[in-house]
Amino acid sequence: MADNPGISFERISHPSPTDADSRAQALTNPGFGTLFSDHMVSIDWDEAHGWHNATLGPRVPLTLDPACAVLHYAQEIFEGLKAYKQEDGGIALFRPEANAARFNSSARRLAMPELPEDVFVESVRQLVNIDREWIPLVEGGSLYLRPFMFASEAFLGVRPAKKYKYLVIASPAGNYFKSGAPAVSIWVSRDYTRAARGGTGAAKCGGNYAASLVPQAEAIQRGHDQAVFLDGAENKWIEELGGMNLFFVFDDGRMVTPPLTGTILPGITRDSLITLAREEGLDVHEERYSLEQWRDDAGSGKLVETFACGTAAVVTPVGKVAGHDGEFVIGSGGPGQLTQKLRQKLVGIQRGTVEDRHGWVTKLR
Ligand code: PLP
Ligand code: COI
């Protein structure tokens, strides 16, 4: 990664940044996604200039033409990563280059221009650097970073837009799940799927999340925390949750996670945990696993743990699974041993208390 990427950010000073007392007050209980830092990054793209007009300035509302293409055809992609305060007081990002690569893979699927990976990483660094006081120091706290890009051309024809905006905003975050329960309960969506072969399931585009809202609301309405999606072809194979990948742990040291066949998001947490689990001596397989088998294995005790993982949710144990034809409990219904061990290892690397043997951590200069 170049230290001095070929784009420089114009700094626009903030006329009235949040005062330290109000910020400290806001950071005592950040929750997820409701609180935002003072600044944002913005870069424009058009056919004539490529990426240009890079700024780091105050976080302000956008003015959009009512014909702005994203408002009509949803040509939008995003990423999610976190900045962590480390034990030694420094600040670190976890695998930002992996987010940059996935951003470009999403861009290709949505017919959008790619952003050079070093510009993506630099944009995130710049924002974290200026808003470093917004990292909450509460247990599990971090600064959640949301880089995103949308079609900004005013045009109603259905074709890739000729103008785009890339922005990065930052949101102080605590726990993703409000309940603070030891394990989450998930609802098997029968009437809705998240992705189909040839669709956009492997891209991180806003439309995927819009499609997940009704099944997710159904899960909540039935008293569960999250919906789990099955494959779109056979309605049989477990895919993922609306914003998290899944792992299954067996009593014989095997661990299974659904394969990346194009319909699920290739999670960076997923990839990291595969590596960490193999280091722990687990026999990890990326292979299909059916709902039926899940129920049988949970019943026989062969399946001992299930957990969900992602940047926002970190590693979250799944305690109960419910569907139209009944429910089943996994293990004791609480967090399993391996789930906790992997979580501690991952969080330790992110926080600088466990050795980073894979070069995953980028410290801020
Ligand atoms: N699956 C979906 C649909 C997601 O939105 C996310 C979150 O980004 C994940 C999985 C986990 O990905 P990651 O670990 O890169 O955050
Ligand atoms: C993330 O973990 O970064 C996600 O994107 C999940 C959700 C907040 C969309």
| Ligand located closest to 94 CA | 1
Residue 219, pLDDT above cutoff 70 = yes
Q: CA-to-CA distance for 170 and 148, rounded, in angstroms?
A: 11
143 token code pair = 């600064």
Instruction: Give the helix/strand (H/E) hosting 62.
Output: none
Ligand 1 proximity of 30 Cβ (cutoff 6 Å): no
Q: How far is the CA of 14 from the centre of ligand 1 (A)?
A: 32
Using a 6 Å cutoff on CB, does residue 189 contact ligand 1? no
pTM of the model: 0.96
Query: In the beta sheet, which residues pair with residue 326?
Result: 323
Residue range 25-54: mean pLDDT, rounded: 96
Whether the Cβ atoms of residue 118 and residue 8 lie closer than 8 Å to each other = no
Residue written as token pair 């290892």: 345
Specify the CATH architecture of the domain 184-351: Alpha-Beta Barrel (3.20)
d(CA 130, CA 18): 13
| pLDDT for residue 2 is more than 60 | no
| Numbered ranges of CATH 3.30.470.10 in the chain | 10-173
The answer, yes or no, to whether any atom of ligand 2 lies below 6 A from the CB of 267, is no
> Which residues does 92 contact at the CB level (< 8 Å), separation at least 6?
83, 84, 86, 350, 352, 361, 362, 363, 364
Q: How far apart are CA 83 and CA 361, in angstroms?
A: 10
Owner of token pair 């221009």: 113
pLDDT score recorded for residue 7: 86
Give me the architecture of the 10-173 domain, per CATH: 2-Layer Sandwich (3.30)
Residue nearest to atom 9 of ligand 1 (CA): 244
Determine if ligand 1 sits within 6 Å of the CB of residue 269.
yes
Atom 8 of ligand 2, nearest CA residue? 312
- Tokens at 82, concatenated: 């976190």
Q: At what angle do helices 268-279 and 96-109 cross, to 10 degrees?
A: 130
CA separation for the pair 335, 180 (Å, rounded): 12
Give per-residue pLDDT as tens, 236-279: 999 999 999 999 999 999 999 999 999 999 999 999 999 999 99
Mean pLDDT of the region 328-340: 95
Rounding to the nearest 10 degrees, give the CA dihedral for residues 190, 194, 196, 200.
180
349-359 pLDDT, tens digit each? 999 999 999 99
| Cα–Cα distance measured from residue 104 to residue 139, given in angstroms and rounded to the nearest whole number | 33
Beta bridge partners of 222: none
Q: Is 133 exposed, middle or buried (0-12, 13-18, 19+ CB in 10 A)?
A: middle
- Ligand 2 centroid to Cα of residue 347, in Å, is 17
Give dist(CA 311, CA 99) in Å, integer: 11
Pairwise CA distance, residues 144 & 137, whole Å: 13
The Cβ-side half-sphere exposure at 98, using a 13 Å CA radius, reads 20
Q: Which residues of the chain are in CATH 3.20.10.10 domains? A: 184-351
Judge residue 270's burial from the number of C-beta atoms within 10 Å of its C-beta, 0-12 exposed, 13-18 middle, 19 or more buried.
buried
Q: What is the pLDDT of residue 177?
A: 74
What pLDDT shows up at residue 180?
A: 61
